[in-house]
Amino acid sequence: MAGDFNATISSLEWVSRAADAREQYRQFLQVVDGHDLWLDIDDRSRARDWTCRGHGGHVEGNIIDRIGDRRTIVSQVVGFGFDIELRLVPVQSTIKDKYQTFQDLVDARIKAECISERLVLDDDSFIRRYKELGSIIKRVSEDVFGRKFPFVKQRNIITNTQIKDIVKGIHDIGSVICFEKSGHTAHISLKAVHAHRCAVADFNHDGGPDETLLQFLLSDKNQILAALKGGSTKKLVQSYPFLPLPHVVNDLDSPEKLICDPEGVKTTTREYFTRLYDHSRVPELPKPWLTTPSVISVRERVKSDPFVWPKRATLADFRALLKRGNSRPSPGLDGWEKWIIKSLSDIALTLVLDLHNYQVMNSCFPGDVKDMWLTMFHKRGVRMNLSNWRGLLLSNVLANSPMAWLNCCLIQYSSEKGILPDMQVAAQLGFQTRDLMSFLAGIKCWANRHKKPVYALKHDQMKGFDYLAPDGFHDTARSYGLPQSVIDIDKAAHKETKCFIRTAYGITVPIVVSDVNKQGGPLSPLKSTFTQGVPKI
């Protein structure tokens, strides 16, 4: 907590006899475990640094503005943190020795524990191998690659005497400006009078004849004035390496009420995402577009050459799958890094492939494979309002791989059978967005040259994939004649998923989410194009 509390704490700061207020302020600091920033100023004095003085022209005053209006105190407020496992340090692929050492150690431990001799036949054997492999990969990767160090903001300490004097003069500039604006009639501290005299001397030495003292002192405020007139404010914004999670949030039902206590913030954040991801009140509506002639034509093409699913992946297929997309995404709850799995030898990766194929062939995700982190990043507006934050779900590698494999196979099949419209370039093989933009630019140029109006229709997609109901993809898959196993594995991926929410005060009790499409999921773009690209004629 930081602010002006209009209270004193020491006899060096007060001249009035407000003993009750001072005692209450001390008790307040003890209860909240607070720290008064003025206590860090050893040479503070009510005769020189006062910020308020009673009527009557006393020589001394009180220092009651705890973050002073006349004297700047710089501080850094650090919020409550929580322990979380840091990520592994990635190593360049050109350094072959570390990767080879990692592979050898993993293979040796797998052989010592005889993991390959125990086959994956049911959920229990799946969970056992999943835990055994996770333990080996975690220990070896930490020993070989190590983990990153926590971020520590470096504080630049000024040691040069001349620079210290310059910074001190900048801090006193506010008092000088206040004195100049006052017309030399206000009662101010002796320190401000000295700063004013120094500034006048500098002005008389350097200032031009047509320049007033006030303009000379306010010359560095031009950027602020330009911003107030509608100019750019980029230079006025202090850049941060990251934006921390909110320590104070608005109440969901009474936005004017602020939630400040740690448990209240965690409870409010959990309730917000519970409401946001609740899709249980979706109304049943007729869907006449699922029986149009175009959809029936697609169904006939699919019937003549059915889509084969489930389909086992070979070791080469799985390695190619791991090379797709982001090579170093944020890991899920199990801590498996994608680049670490990709670095495994064929012996170790075959054991991971067995887990992947078991999920694909049985349309299931045993144990806690589906558990996810739910973190947030700020979009816009007031940071205390949770609606201005966007939720980001981080899932495990084995929770993503079956859906990525389905996406790879289904895109290839839909391209061959012409299931998706030709203009739907988001999920078409060999197409780029620039191809469509170039085509539209050509149409616009033709329309301008021949003076012919051209009209285009565009889908109005105001929300993200988390508002796209999975039933839309399921209905489309049924109408096209795709296998029921495609729908089964998609339902299994979204059913009763535990989400552990990260807040500024730690991890909340998990919420259970169902029927929510993940933003950034491997199958989400294809599901969106299948749902919105259904021919309406």
For residues 134 and 213, membership in a common domain is answered with no
For residues 362 and 465, membership in a common domain is answered with yes
Q: In the prediction, which pLDDT does 455 show? A: 86
H-state helical runs in 364-483: 397-417, 433-450, 470-480
Residue 186 domain-assigned?
A: yes
Q: Which residues of 386-423 are buried (b: 16+ CB within 10 A; e: fewer)?
A: beebebbbbbbbbbbbbbbbbbbbbbebbeeeebbeee
Among candidate residues 185, 215, 231, the one where a domain is terminated: 231
Among candidate residues 186, 205, 231, the one where a domain is terminated: 231
Q: In the prediction, which pLDDT does 155 show? A: 66
Do the Cβ atoms of 399 and 493 come closer than 8 Å? yes
Q: Which residues of 300-333 are buried (b: 16+ CB within 10 A; e: fewer)?
A: eebeeeebebbeebeeebbeebbeeeeeeeebbb
Please give the Cα distance from 225 to 283 (Å, whole number): 53
Residue 126 domain-assigned?
A: yes
For residues 427 and 348, membership in a common domain is answered with yes
For residues 418 and 527, membership in a common domain is answered with yes
For residues 133 and 47, membership in a common domain is answered with no
Residue 343 domain-assigned?
A: yes
Q: In the prediction, which pLDDT does 88 show? A: 82
Instruction: Read off φ and ψ for residue 507, nearest 5 degrees.
Output: -90, 135
For residues 110 and 195, membership in a common domain is answered with no
For residues 33 and 135, membership in a common domain is answered with no
For residues 176 and 121, membership in a common domain is answered with no
For residues 312 and 444, membership in a common domain is answered with yes
Half-sphere exposure of 297 (CA within 13 A, CB side): 12
Please give the Cα distance from 43 to 474 (Å, whole number): 73
Q: In the prediction, which pLDDT does 224 show? A: 67
Residues in CB range of 398: below 8 A, 6 or more apart: 130, 334, 336, 352, 355, 356, 359, 365, 369
The first and second tokens of residue 142, run together, are 């930490």
Q: In the prediction, which pLDDT does 265 show? A: 93
State the burial class of residue 60 (Cβ atoms within 10 Å of its Cβ: 0-12, 13-18, 19+): middle
For residues 175 and 141, membership in a common domain is answered with no
Token pair 């191998």 in the structure block, residue? 129
Domain count, the chain: 3
317's enclosing H/E stretch is helix 315-322
Q: Please report, in tens digits, the pLDDT of each residue of the chain (537 residues total).
A: 555 555 665 655 555 555 666 777 777 777 777 777 666 665 555 555 555 555 555 555 555 444 444 444 444 444 444 556 778 888 777 778 889 999 999 999 999 999 999 999 999 999 999 999 999 999 999 999 988 877 666 667 777 888 877 777 776 676 666 666 666 555 556 666 676 677 667 666 655 544 555 555 555 566 666 766 766 666 665 555 556 888 899 999 998 899 989 999 999 999 999 998 887 777 777 888 888 888 888 899 999 999 999 999 999 999 999 998 888 888 888 889 999 999 999 999 999 999 999 999 999 999 999 999 999 888 878 888 999 898 888 899 999 999 999 999 998 898 888 887 766 666 667 677 777 788 888 999 999 999 999 887 766 554 555 567 788 889 999 999 999 999 999 999 988 899 999 998 989 999 998 888 777 788 888 888 888 777 656
The first and second tokens of residue 387, run together, are 């609606």
Q: In the prediction, which pLDDT does 425 show? A: 67
Strands (E), 451-530: 497-503, 506-507, 511-513
Do the Cβ atoms of 128 and 118 come closer than 8 Å? yes
Residue 503 domain-assigned?
A: no
- The residue among 115, 143, 112, 147 whose CA lies nearest residue 131 is 115
In this structure, how many other beta carbons lie within 10 angstroms of the beta carbon of residue 425? 18
In this structure, how many other beta carbons lie within 10 angstroms of the beta carbon of residue 266? 20
Pairing of strands 497-503, 372-378: parallel
Q: In the prediction, which pLDDT does 189 show? A: 61
Residue 442 domain-assigned?
A: yes
Please give the Cα distance from 257 to 363 (Å, whole number): 46
Residue 80 domain-assigned?
A: no
Q: In the prediction, which pLDDT does 78 show? A: 47
- The residue among 196, 226, 225 whose CA lies nearest residue 213 is 196
- Print the domain residue range for 4: 1-51+58-70
Q: What is the DSSP letter of 312?
A: P
For residues 333 and 424, membership in a common domain is answered with yes
390's enclosing H/E stretch is strand 389-394
Residue 213 domain-assigned?
A: yes
The first and second tokens of residue 478, run together, are 């049924």
Residue 281 domain-assigned?
A: no
Q: In the prediction, which pLDDT does 308 show? A: 93
Q: In the prediction, which pLDDT does 426 show? A: 65
Pairing of strands 506-507, 258-259: unpaired
For residues 441 and 532, membership in a common domain is answered with yes
The first and second tokens of residue 170, run together, are 């900048």
Do the Cβ atoms of 498 and 333 come closer than 8 Å? no
- The residue among 390, 396, 337 whose CA lies nearest residue 366 is 396
Token pair 């169904």 in the structure block, residue? 299
Among candidate residues 203, 231, 259, the one where a domain is terminated: 231
